Chains A and B, each alone.
Chain A
Amino acid sequence: MDLAQDVFRYVEKMPGGNLILTTTDSLFNWAKANSLWYLLFGLKCCAIEMMAAGASRYDLDRLGLMFRASPRQTDLMIVAGTVTAKMAPRIRTLWEQMAEPRYVIAMGSCAITGGAFFYDSYAAIKGVDEVIPVDVYIPGCPPRPEALIEGILKLQEKIKKESLTKR
Protein backbone atom coordinates (compact mmCIF):
# COMPACT_ATOMS: atom_id res chain seq x y z
CA MET A 1 0.00 0.00 0.00
CA ASP A 2 1.35 3.38 -0.97
CA LEU A 3 1.44 5.48 2.17
CA ALA A 4 1.16 8.83 0.38
CA GLN A 5 -2.01 7.65 -1.33
CA ASP A 6 -3.33 6.47 1.99
CA VAL A 7 -2.93 9.97 3.44
CA PHE A 8 -4.65 11.53 0.45
CA ARG A 9 -7.59 9.22 0.96
CA TYR A 10 -8.17 10.85 4.31
CA VAL A 11 -7.46 14.39 3.12
CA GLU A 12 -9.92 14.05 0.28
CA LYS A 13 -12.60 13.15 2.75
CA MET A 14 -12.48 16.75 4.02
CA PRO A 15 -15.48 18.51 2.47
CA GLY A 16 -15.16 21.48 4.83
CA GLY A 17 -17.15 22.88 7.75
CA ASN A 18 -17.35 21.00 10.99
CA LEU A 19 -16.34 17.80 9.31
CA ILE A 20 -12.72 18.89 9.49
CA LEU A 21 -12.37 17.61 13.02
CA THR A 22 -13.43 14.10 12.20
CA THR A 23 -11.08 13.89 9.27
CA THR A 24 -8.24 15.27 11.35
CA ASP A 25 -9.19 12.48 13.69
CA SER A 26 -8.72 9.86 11.04
CA LEU A 27 -5.41 11.36 9.94
CA PHE A 28 -4.14 11.50 13.50
CA ASN A 29 -5.45 8.05 14.30
CA TRP A 30 -3.81 6.65 11.21
CA ALA A 31 -0.52 8.16 12.37
CA LYS A 32 -0.94 7.04 15.97
CA ALA A 33 -2.00 3.51 15.14
CA ASN A 34 0.92 2.95 12.80
CA SER A 35 3.69 4.33 14.98
CA LEU A 36 3.09 2.62 18.30
CA TRP A 37 6.51 2.84 19.86
CA TYR A 38 6.65 0.51 22.81
CA LEU A 39 8.65 0.69 25.97
CA LEU A 40 11.71 -1.52 26.16
CA PHE A 41 10.57 -3.21 29.29
CA GLY A 42 9.78 -6.77 30.30
CA LEU A 43 9.03 -8.34 33.64
CA LYS A 44 9.30 -12.07 33.18
CA CYS A 45 9.06 -14.97 30.78
CA CYS A 46 6.42 -13.22 28.59
CA ALA A 47 9.14 -10.72 27.78
CA ILE A 48 10.96 -13.47 25.90
CA GLU A 49 7.93 -13.89 23.64
CA MET A 50 7.75 -10.12 23.29
CA MET A 51 11.40 -10.05 22.23
CA ALA A 52 10.72 -12.86 19.77
CA ALA A 53 7.85 -10.84 18.35
CA GLY A 54 10.13 -7.85 17.99
CA ALA A 55 12.91 -9.82 16.33
CA SER A 56 13.16 -10.54 12.64
CA ARG A 57 11.00 -13.67 12.44
CA TYR A 58 7.79 -11.94 13.55
CA ASP A 59 9.10 -8.41 13.03
CA LEU A 60 6.94 -5.89 14.85
CA ASP A 61 8.73 -3.14 12.90
CA ARG A 62 6.51 -3.84 9.89
CA LEU A 63 3.52 -2.70 11.96
CA GLY A 64 5.35 0.49 12.87
CA LEU A 65 6.24 -0.76 16.34
CA MET A 66 9.71 0.00 17.55
CA PHE A 67 11.01 -0.25 21.06
CA ARG A 68 12.27 2.85 22.77
CA ALA A 69 14.34 2.79 25.93
CA SER A 70 12.77 5.90 27.42
CA PRO A 71 9.16 6.15 28.60
CA ARG A 72 9.04 9.76 27.37
CA GLN A 73 9.30 8.59 23.76
CA THR A 74 6.82 5.74 23.94
CA ASP A 75 3.11 5.35 23.23
CA LEU A 76 2.62 1.76 24.29
CA MET A 77 3.54 -0.22 27.36
CA ILE A 78 3.48 -4.00 27.01
CA VAL A 79 3.30 -5.42 30.52
CA ALA A 80 4.90 -8.79 29.88
CA GLY A 81 5.03 -10.82 33.07
CA THR A 82 4.09 -11.04 36.73
CA VAL A 83 3.66 -7.74 38.51
CA THR A 84 5.06 -7.93 42.02
CA ALA A 85 4.29 -5.66 44.91
CA LYS A 86 7.74 -4.17 44.65
CA MET A 87 7.54 -3.61 40.89
CA ALA A 88 4.02 -2.12 40.89
CA PRO A 89 4.99 1.43 41.99
CA ARG A 90 7.79 1.44 39.42
CA ILE A 91 5.37 0.41 36.66
CA ARG A 92 3.06 3.20 37.78
CA THR A 93 5.95 5.70 37.60
CA LEU A 94 6.94 4.54 34.11
CA TRP A 95 3.35 4.80 32.97
CA GLU A 96 3.05 8.31 34.39
CA GLN A 97 6.23 9.33 32.58
CA MET A 98 4.81 8.27 29.22
CA ALA A 99 3.33 11.10 27.15
CA GLU A 100 -0.36 11.09 26.22
CA PRO A 101 -1.84 9.38 24.32
CA ARG A 102 -0.57 6.21 25.92
CA TYR A 103 -1.78 2.65 25.74
CA VAL A 104 -1.21 -0.45 27.82
CA ILE A 105 -1.28 -4.09 26.76
CA ALA A 106 -1.45 -6.69 29.52
CA MET A 107 0.35 -9.70 28.08
CA GLY A 108 -0.10 -13.15 29.58
CA SER A 109 -2.08 -14.65 32.45
CA CYS A 110 0.09 -13.09 35.13
CA ALA A 111 -0.40 -9.55 33.92
CA ILE A 112 -4.15 -10.17 33.60
CA THR A 113 -5.00 -11.87 36.91
CA GLY A 114 -1.82 -12.98 38.60
CA GLY A 115 -1.94 -16.25 36.69
CA ALA A 116 0.02 -19.03 38.34
CA PHE A 117 0.65 -16.75 41.33
CA PHE A 118 -3.02 -16.08 42.02
CA TYR A 119 -3.16 -18.37 45.09
CA ASP A 120 -0.90 -18.25 48.13
CA SER A 121 1.32 -15.48 46.84
CA TYR A 122 2.34 -12.64 49.10
CA ALA A 123 4.19 -10.73 46.39
CA ALA A 124 2.19 -10.96 43.15
CA ILE A 125 -0.32 -8.27 42.24
CA LYS A 126 -3.53 -9.86 40.92
CA GLY A 127 -3.44 -8.21 37.53
CA VAL A 128 -1.71 -5.06 36.33
CA ASP A 129 -5.09 -3.31 36.00
CA GLU A 130 -4.96 -2.78 39.76
CA VAL A 131 -2.11 -0.35 39.07
CA ILE A 132 -2.66 1.16 35.62
CA PRO A 133 -5.56 1.13 33.12
CA VAL A 134 -5.27 -1.56 30.45
CA ASP A 135 -6.48 -1.33 26.84
CA VAL A 136 -5.92 -4.85 25.54
CA TYR A 137 -5.63 -8.15 27.41
CA ILE A 138 -3.79 -11.01 25.73
CA PRO A 139 -4.34 -14.39 27.45
CA GLY A 140 -1.77 -17.16 27.32
CA CYS A 141 1.03 -18.51 29.42
CA PRO A 142 2.97 -17.13 27.67
CA PRO A 143 1.09 -15.92 24.58
CA ARG A 144 2.81 -16.72 21.31
CA PRO A 145 4.16 -13.83 19.24
CA GLU A 146 1.18 -14.31 16.91
CA ALA A 147 -1.14 -13.65 19.84
CA LEU A 148 0.79 -10.52 20.75
CA ILE A 149 0.55 -9.33 17.15
CA GLU A 150 -3.20 -9.96 17.18
CA GLY A 151 -3.48 -7.94 20.38
CA ILE A 152 -1.57 -5.10 18.76
CA LEU A 153 -3.88 -5.21 15.72
CA LYS A 154 -6.85 -5.03 18.10
CA LEU A 155 -5.27 -2.02 19.77
CA GLN A 156 -4.79 -0.39 16.38
CA GLU A 157 -8.48 -0.96 15.64
CA LYS A 158 -9.30 0.69 18.94
CA ILE A 159 -7.06 3.67 18.23
CA LYS A 160 -8.64 4.15 14.80
CA LYS A 161 -12.03 4.56 16.48
CA GLU A 162 -10.78 7.32 18.77
CA SER A 163 -11.64 10.98 18.48
CA LEU A 164 -9.74 14.09 19.50
CA THR A 165 -12.84 15.55 21.12
CA LYS A 166 -13.76 12.58 23.26
CA ARG A 167 -11.58 9.82 24.61
Chain B
Amino acid sequence: MTEEKKISREELLATGENIKAQYNFLVFITAVDYPERNVIGMVYHLRSLGNRDTLIIKIDLPREKPEIASVAGIWPAAEWHEREVFDLFGVNFLGHPDLRRILLPPDWEGSPLRKDYTKPGVIKRPETIK
Protein backbone atom coordinates (compact mmCIF):
# COMPACT_ATOMS: atom_id res chain seq x y z
CA MET B 1 0.00 0.00 0.00
CA THR B 2 1.27 3.44 -0.86
CA GLU B 3 0.40 6.36 1.33
CA GLU B 4 1.15 10.00 0.69
CA LYS B 5 1.45 12.64 3.37
CA LYS B 6 1.91 16.37 3.14
CA ILE B 7 3.44 17.89 6.28
CA SER B 8 5.15 21.10 7.26
CA ARG B 9 8.86 21.26 7.77
CA GLU B 10 8.58 21.71 11.52
CA GLU B 11 6.83 18.35 11.82
CA LEU B 12 9.48 16.40 9.95
CA LEU B 13 11.77 15.36 12.78
CA ALA B 14 8.92 14.40 15.12
CA THR B 15 7.16 12.47 12.35
CA GLY B 16 10.39 10.70 11.49
CA GLU B 17 11.00 9.62 15.06
CA ASN B 18 7.42 8.34 15.29
CA ILE B 19 7.46 6.27 12.12
CA LYS B 20 11.06 5.09 11.96
CA ALA B 21 10.26 1.79 13.71
CA GLN B 22 7.71 0.95 11.02
CA TYR B 23 9.22 2.67 7.98
CA ASN B 24 12.73 1.44 8.50
CA PHE B 25 14.04 1.82 4.96
CA LEU B 26 14.65 5.17 3.31
CA VAL B 27 14.42 4.62 -0.44
CA PHE B 28 15.43 8.10 -1.51
CA ILE B 29 15.16 11.79 -0.87
CA THR B 30 14.74 14.19 -3.73
CA ALA B 31 13.32 17.62 -4.47
CA VAL B 32 11.23 19.31 -7.16
CA ASP B 33 11.45 22.93 -8.16
CA TYR B 34 8.11 24.73 -8.65
CA PRO B 35 8.99 28.29 -9.65
CA GLU B 36 5.35 29.18 -10.38
CA ARG B 37 4.42 28.43 -6.75
CA ASN B 38 7.77 29.75 -5.48
CA VAL B 39 8.31 26.45 -3.73
CA ILE B 40 10.91 23.73 -3.56
CA GLY B 41 9.12 20.51 -2.77
CA MET B 42 11.02 17.90 -0.78
CA VAL B 43 10.05 14.29 -1.39
CA TYR B 44 10.91 11.47 1.02
CA HIS B 45 10.22 7.92 -0.09
CA LEU B 46 10.08 5.50 2.82
CA ARG B 47 9.46 1.80 2.80
CA SER B 48 8.47 -0.61 5.47
CA LEU B 49 10.45 -3.80 5.04
CA GLY B 50 8.15 -5.55 7.52
CA ASN B 51 4.72 -5.10 5.91
CA ARG B 52 5.87 -3.76 2.51
CA ASP B 53 4.17 -0.39 2.72
CA THR B 54 5.43 2.73 1.03
CA LEU B 55 5.09 6.18 2.54
CA ILE B 56 5.76 9.34 0.60
CA ILE B 57 6.31 12.48 2.63
CA LYS B 58 6.12 15.80 0.83
CA ILE B 59 7.21 19.10 2.30
CA ASP B 60 7.06 22.53 0.67
CA LEU B 61 9.97 24.87 1.32
CA PRO B 62 10.18 28.55 0.41
CA ARG B 63 12.33 28.99 -2.65
CA GLU B 64 14.37 31.94 -1.37
CA LYS B 65 15.60 30.25 1.79
CA PRO B 66 15.06 26.50 1.61
CA GLU B 67 16.04 25.09 4.98
CA ILE B 68 14.98 21.89 6.62
CA ALA B 69 16.17 19.62 9.42
CA SER B 70 18.40 16.74 8.41
CA VAL B 71 17.00 13.25 8.90
CA ALA B 72 20.45 11.66 8.73
CA GLY B 73 20.19 10.93 12.44
CA ILE B 74 16.98 8.92 11.89
CA TRP B 75 17.81 7.13 8.63
CA PRO B 76 21.60 7.05 8.04
CA ALA B 77 21.02 6.59 4.29
CA ALA B 78 19.72 10.14 4.21
CA GLU B 79 23.19 11.61 4.50
CA TRP B 80 24.24 11.26 0.86
CA HIS B 81 20.73 11.88 -0.46
CA GLU B 82 20.61 15.17 1.38
CA ARG B 83 24.02 16.05 0.05
CA GLU B 84 22.72 15.44 -3.46
CA VAL B 85 19.67 17.66 -2.91
CA PHE B 86 21.96 20.30 -1.40
CA ASP B 87 24.21 19.98 -4.44
CA LEU B 88 21.57 20.24 -7.14
CA PHE B 89 18.80 22.34 -5.50
CA GLY B 90 20.64 24.35 -2.87
CA VAL B 91 18.51 23.15 0.04
CA ASN B 92 20.23 23.70 3.37
CA PHE B 93 19.96 20.75 5.76
CA LEU B 94 20.30 21.86 9.37
CA GLY B 95 22.21 19.47 11.57
CA HIS B 96 23.67 17.47 8.68
CA PRO B 97 27.02 15.91 9.70
CA ASP B 98 28.91 16.67 6.46
CA LEU B 99 27.05 18.99 4.11
CA ARG B 100 29.15 19.53 0.98
CA ARG B 101 28.77 18.92 -2.73
CA ILE B 102 28.64 15.27 -3.74
CA LEU B 103 28.27 15.12 -7.53
CA LEU B 104 29.47 18.46 -8.85
CA PRO B 105 33.02 19.78 -8.47
CA PRO B 106 33.56 21.52 -5.12
CA ASP B 107 34.02 24.94 -6.74
CA TRP B 108 30.71 24.82 -8.64
CA GLU B 109 28.43 27.83 -8.41
CA GLY B 110 24.64 27.62 -8.39
CA SER B 111 22.10 24.82 -8.23
CA PRO B 112 21.71 23.30 -11.67
CA LEU B 113 18.40 21.49 -11.23
CA ARG B 114 16.54 24.68 -10.39
CA LYS B 115 14.42 25.74 -13.35
CA ASP B 116 15.94 29.21 -13.56
CA TYR B 117 19.54 27.98 -13.51
CA THR B 118 21.74 29.33 -16.27
CA LYS B 119 25.40 28.84 -16.95
CA PRO B 120 27.55 30.41 -19.66
CA GLY B 121 28.29 27.85 -22.35
CA VAL B 122 25.02 25.99 -22.01
CA ILE B 123 23.43 25.86 -25.47
CA LYS B 124 19.64 26.08 -25.47
CA ARG B 125 17.84 23.47 -27.51
CA PRO B 126 16.18 25.21 -30.49
CA GLU B 127 12.41 24.84 -30.84
CA THR B 128 12.86 23.10 -34.18
CA ILE B 129 14.78 20.21 -32.62
CA LYS B 130 12.65 17.94 -30.50
Contact = CB atoms under 8 A, between A and B. Distances in A.
Contact of B112 (A86, A118, A122): A122
B122 interface: yes
Identify the interface centre among B103, B119, B122: most chain A CB within 10 Å of its CB.
B122
A119 B124 contact: yes
Contact of B123 (A85, A86, A120, A123): A120
Contacts, number: 24
Contacts of A118: 123
Interface in B93-130: 103-105, 112, 117, 119, 121-126, 129
A124 to B, nearest CB: 9
A73 interface: no
Interface in A129-167: none
Identify the interface centre among A85, A120, A122, A123: most chain B CB within 10 Å of its CB.
A122
Given A85-B105, A86-B104, A86-B105, A120 B124 contact: yes
Interface residues of B, number: 13
Contacts of A86: 103-105
Contacts of B119: 122
Contacts of A121: 122
Contacts of B117: 122
Contacts of A126: 121, 123
A82 to B, nearest CB: 14
A22 to B, nearest CB: 45
A122 B116 CA distance: 12
Given A86-B104, A86-B105, A119 B112 contact: no
A29 B60 CA distance: 65
Contacts of A120: 122-125
A83 B123 CA distance: 16
Contacts of B125: 119-120
Interface string A68-98: 0000000000000000011000000000000
24 contacts: A85-B104, A85-B105, A86-B103, A86-B104, A86-B105, A118-B123, A119-B123, A119-B124, A119-B125, A119-B126, A119-B129, A120-B122, A120-B123, A120-B124, A120-B125, A121-B122, A122-B112, A122-B117, A122-B119, A122-B122, A123-B104, A123-B112, A126-B121, A126-B123
Given A119-B129, A122-B112, A122-B117, 20 more contacts: A85-B104, A86-B103, A86-B104, A86-B105, A118-B123, A119-B123, A119-B124, A119-B125, A119-B126, A120-B122, A120-B123, A120-B124, A120-B125, A121-B122, A122-B119, A122-B122, A123-B104, A123-B112, A126-B121, A126-B123
